[in-house]
Chain A
Amino acid sequence: MDITVNILLTIATAATPLLIAAIGELVVERSGVLNLGVEGMMIVGAVGGFGAGYLTGSPWIGLLAAIIVGALFSLLFAVMTLSLATNQVATGLSLTLLGLGLSGMIGTSFVGQPGVRLPNLDIPGISSIPVVGKLVFGQDPVFYISIALTAAVMWFLFKTRTGLTLRSIGDSHTSAHALGIKVIRYRYLAVIFGGACAGLAGGHLSLVYTPQWVENMSAGRGWIALALVVFASWRPWRVLAGAYIFGAVWIGQLHAQAFGIPVPSQFLSSLPYLATVVVLVLISRNKRLTMMNTPASLGQPFVPDR
């Protein structure tokens, strides 16, 4: 029983950064912007979070720093694609490349330093209840944030007027503009929200998942988060499901390696990436469904003609 609980806990920890980054990107893509810089924003969030936590000794300040750094970094993408109407694919890629470089440079002095870890929730008496206590009341704070964030985004997108407006911008920015909606302003806010989420996801990596700084520690999670959004056909609750499936794959291969299954560890390590490809194929095979769900103006630059 204890082993099962522990595995479930590690799956939740592995799924949390994927979930947060993907939920943020989902909002961005719902507004019609494709930001391929998730990996870059995540890694600067990770290094920023680690650095602030390491220097101040407070993991909470670290987490806050991760969010702010991610948001600021996404602002760079927003200015480029929204104000200067640059190609979103290329700009997103360059955000990732710049983020990996910057984090590597800033992080050189952090390599090998002991980090600080966010403490798990611990309610006396309740968190020690077998099974349920640990799973529901004994996880790290970011886990609860991720669940609340998913619920909040779901409510925002489908139950509020602003959410409806945001979705309408993603489906047709020209019509939205003609109705007097400030397309660019909405998109700025969406991109910055996505950046804050990616930064938080990175902060989770360096303050909870493995509380230290390792270069390239995001290891493609930002890209997997992007794939999750497609897999989830732009629906928050499906992102939640997808993130946990991928968390399970990630943890599953680690456990398989630890058990010494007679398969080279490199093949097991490549499973999350191969799974991403397989899942993308399965979901995009149904062309009509994908067409129906994809925000119609996704990735297209928009220049208001006054």
Chain B
Amino acid sequence: MRIELVKRPQRSALFSMLSPFIAFALTIIAGAIMFALLGVNPLNAFEIYFVEPVSQVWQLHELAIKAAPLILIAVGLSVCYRANIWNIGAEGQFIFGAIFGSIIPVLFPQFEGPLVIPLMLLLGMVGGAFYASIPALLKTRFSTNEILTSLMLVYVAQLFLDWLVRGPWRDPQGHGFPQTIQFGDSAVLPELMPDAGRANWGFVFALVAAVLVWLMMSRMLKGFEVRVLGSSPRAGRFAGFGFNRMVFFAFLLSGALAGLAGISEVSGAIGQLQPVISPGYGFTAIIVAFLGRLNPLGIVAAGLVLALTYLGGEAVQSALGISDKVARVFQGMLLFFVLGCDTLIHYRIRLIGMALTKPNGAAQLEAAPKLEEAR
């Protein structure tokens, strides 16, 4: 059997809408097979995975906590990917945002008041943008491949954080645990509805960022510039758009958003710095960006879906004794199916059975005159 792609005259609006849903359905089918292989009743597993984690109000708050960093990071990444710039080091920028933002509560704990949080958030964005500027600088100055440099810097950031919390920033009263002091009250991101659940302002930041970036991409010249440079760098040059400036713009924007996500996570959900502060948000956000079709509003929905995969992973681990790595498998499969389904937007897929077709050349020779007649 052979797969053949036939180019559509124009992109299919129908599949453009449907493809994330088809991808999700295929993931569910593949997931059912996986659960069956693991010896679990798929229906039962799905209920525990996708329904139970969001059946109560406080659980929706947990969902928002997980979704906030994913959405924030993915919104920034969508701008990069639209511009055909491949920042895959958001995990590192997330960590550096967390570190920069934590400077105030860790080194100046006596500093209190309403100014603390805004300053921390600002520093977090600066930290993320700073860390993202390294691959941007290397790409523009030395044309070094940004995929590899941004990824390598993730490992460096993880080790740097590890050193900080085990070394100079360790809580002296922490009984030797590798962690900083607990942030003071004025350095903790407030919860939105403390009576109902733990969700904090990070989720609001995510929604605001998504709307702002959506406005920029669809209504402003900058967004047009991003899209032109992404789909045709040559056309972009003729229009006077600078590619190097775009590299910096995309990296700094996505870095700042990842940094904001980092400091929001540490200040809101965790309350101190630890050796590990992210269950791979920076990488999962790549999936979120693609599942949301690189559209900031789609990313909000996709972020909630991927947040659910994290919660579901924890749920099946405690209920069924399956490793919570199952979440990573779901996420990976989802991205695969999303990318595969996106092909449907630009191409029709024809499956050709080997037995049914004549040898290629002969079939073509016969088909050609008929085509002429038809015209």
Taking the complex as formed, is B151 at the interface, i.e. its CB lies under 8 A from any CB of chain A? Answer: yes
Contact between chains at A97 and B347 (CB < 8 Å):
no
Contact between chains at A223 and B329 (CB < 8 Å):
no
The residues of A that contact B323 with a CB separation of less than 8 Å are 104-105, 108
Nearest residue (CB) in B for A86 is: B339
Which of B58-66, B138-146, B243-251 lies on the face that meets chain A? Answer: B138-146
- The 0/1 profile, CB within 8 Å of A marked 1, for residues 278-322 of chain B is 000001101100100000000000000000000000000000001
Contact of B329 (CB < 8 Å), options: A83, A102, A269, A281: A102
Contact between chains at B3 and A264 (CB < 8 Å):
no
Contact between chains at B152 and A277 (CB < 8 Å):
yes
Taking the complex as formed, is A80 at the interface, i.e. its CB lies under 8 A from any CB of chain B? Answer: yes
Contact of A266 (CB < 8 Å), options: B145, B163, B330: B163
Contact between chains at A80 and B5 (CB < 8 Å):
no
Contact between chains at A264 and B163 (CB < 8 Å):
yes
In the bound complex, what is the Cα–Cα distance between A280 and B145 (angstroms)? 8
Contact between chains at A284 and B327 (CB < 8 Å):
no
The residues of A that contact B336 with a CB separation of less than 8 Å are 76, 80, 91, 94-95, 98
The residues of A that contact B17 with a CB separation of less than 8 Å are none
Nearest residue (CB) in B for A223 is: B151
Contact of B5 (CB < 8 Å), options: A91, A99, A303: A303
In the bound complex, what is the Cα–Cα distance between A86 and B347 (angstroms)? 11
The residues of A that contact B349 with a CB separation of less than 8 Å are 84
Contact between chains at B5 and A97 (CB < 8 Å):
no
Contact between chains at A223 and B342 (CB < 8 Å):
no
Taking the complex as formed, is B191 at the interface, i.e. its CB lies under 8 A from any CB of chain A? Answer: no
Q: Give chain A nearest CB distance to B372 CB in angstroms.
A: 16
The residues of B that contact A76 with a CB separation of less than 8 Å are 336
Taking the complex as formed, is A93 at the interface, i.e. its CB lies under 8 A from any CB of chain B? Answer: yes
Contact between chains at B144 and A280 (CB < 8 Å):
yes
Taking the complex as formed, is B148 at the interface, i.e. its CB lies under 8 A from any CB of chain A? Answer: yes
- The 0/1 profile, CB within 8 Å of A marked 1, for residues 334-346 of chain B is 0110011011000
Taking the complex as formed, is B167 at the interface, i.e. its CB lies under 8 A from any CB of chain A? Answer: yes
Q: Give chain B nearest CB distance to A91 CB in angstroms.
A: 6
In the bound complex, what is the Cα–Cα distance between A85 and B327 (angstroms)? 27
In the bound complex, what is the Cα–Cα distance between A65 and B88 (angstroms)? 31
Contact between chains at A101 and B3 (CB < 8 Å):
no
Contact between chains at A84 and B148 (CB < 8 Å):
no
The residues of A that contact B166 with a CB separation of less than 8 Å are 266
In the bound complex, what is the Cα–Cα distance between A227 and B151 (angstroms)? 11
Do A101 and B155 form a contact, CB below 8 Å, given A89-B86, A270-B160? no
The residues of A that contact B160 with a CB separation of less than 8 Å are 266, 270
Do A277 and B149 form a contact, CB below 8 Å, given A83-B3, A104-B325? yes
The residues of A that contact B267 with a CB separation of less than 8 Å are none
Q: Give chain B nearest CB distance to A275 CB in angstroms.
A: 9
In the bound complex, what is the Cα–Cα distance between A226 and B148 (angstroms)? 8
In the bound complex, what is the Cα–Cα distance between A93 and B86 (angstroms)? 11
Interface size counted on chain B using CB atoms at 8 A: 50
Contact between chains at A90 and B327 (CB < 8 Å):
no
The residues of B that contact A305 with a CB separation of less than 8 Å are 7
In the bound complex, what is the Cα–Cα distance between A277 and B135 (angstroms)? 9
- The 0/1 profile, CB within 8 Å of A marked 1, for residues 121-145 of chain B is 0000000000000000010001111
The residues of A that contact B342 with a CB separation of less than 8 Å are 86
In the bound complex, what is the Cα–Cα distance between A284 and B328 (angstroms)? 34
Contact between chains at B155 and A273 (CB < 8 Å):
yes
Contact between chains at A80 and B339 (CB < 8 Å):
yes
Contact between chains at B152 and A274 (CB < 8 Å):
yes
User: What is the predominant secondary structure among interface residues of chain B facing chain A?
Assistant: helix
In the bound complex, what is the Cα–Cα distance between A266 and B156 (angstroms)? 9
Taking the complex as formed, is B326 at the interface, i.e. its CB lies under 8 A from any CB of chain A? Answer: yes
In the bound complex, what is the Cα–Cα distance between A283 and B196 (angstroms)? 56
Q: Give chain B nearest CB distance to A195 CB in angstroms.
A: 15
User: What is the predominant secondary structure among interface residues of chain A facing chain B?
Assistant: helix
Taking the complex as formed, is B208 at the interface, i.e. its CB lies under 8 A from any CB of chain A? Answer: no
Contact of B340 (CB < 8 Å), options: A84, A101, A220, A266: A84
Taking the complex as formed, is B364 at the interface, i.e. its CB lies under 8 A from any CB of chain A? Answer: yes
Taking the complex as formed, is A162 at the interface, i.e. its CB lies under 8 A from any CB of chain B? Answer: no
In the bound complex, what is the Cα–Cα distance between A76 and B333 (angstroms)? 11
The residues of B that contact A287 with a CB separation of less than 8 Å are 143
Nearest residue (CB) in B for A87 is: B339
Contact of B149 (CB < 8 Å), options: A79, A108, A280, A290: A280
The residues of A that contact B174 with a CB separation of less than 8 Å are none
B1-28 with Cβ < 8 A to chain A: 3, 5, 7
Do A98 and B329 form a contact, CB below 8 Å, given A281-B138, A303-B7? yes
Contact between chains at B339 and A94 (CB < 8 Å):
yes
Contact of B138 (CB < 8 Å), options: A84, A227, A273, A277: A277
Contact between chains at B326 and A105 (CB < 8 Å):
yes
Nearest residue (CB) in B for A220 is: B155
The residues of A that contact B7 with a CB separation of less than 8 Å are 303, 305
In the bound complex, what is the Cα–Cα distance between A104 and B322 (angstroms)? 11
Q: Give chain A nearest CB distance to B301 CB in angstroms.
A: 19
Contact between chains at A84 and B5 (CB < 8 Å):
yes
Contact between chains at A97 and B148 (CB < 8 Å):
no
The residues of A that contact B254 with a CB separation of less than 8 Å are none
Contact between chains at A85 and B144 (CB < 8 Å):
no
Taking the complex as formed, is B332 at the interface, i.e. its CB lies under 8 A from any CB of chain A? Answer: yes
In the bound complex, what is the Cα–Cα distance between A100 and B333 (angstroms)? 12
Residues in B lying within 8 Å of A, measured CB to CB: 3, 5, 7, 81, 86, 88, 138, 142-145, 147-149, 151-153, 155-156, 159-160, 162-163, 166-167, 283-284, 286-287, 290, 322-323, 325-333, 335-336, 339-340, 342-343, 347, 349, 364
12 pairs of residues in contact across A and B, judged by CB atoms under 8 Å: A76-B336, A94-B339, A95-B336, A98-B328, A101-B330, A108-B323, A108-B325, A273-B153, A276-B152, A277-B153, A280-B149, A306-B364
18 further contact pairs, Cβ within 8 A, besides A266-B160, A284-B144? A84-B3, A84-B343, A86-B339, A87-B339, A90-B335, A94-B287, A97-B286, A98-B333, A101-B327, A108-B325, A223-B151, A227-B152, A266-B163, A270-B159, A277-B148, A280-B149, A281-B142, A305-B7
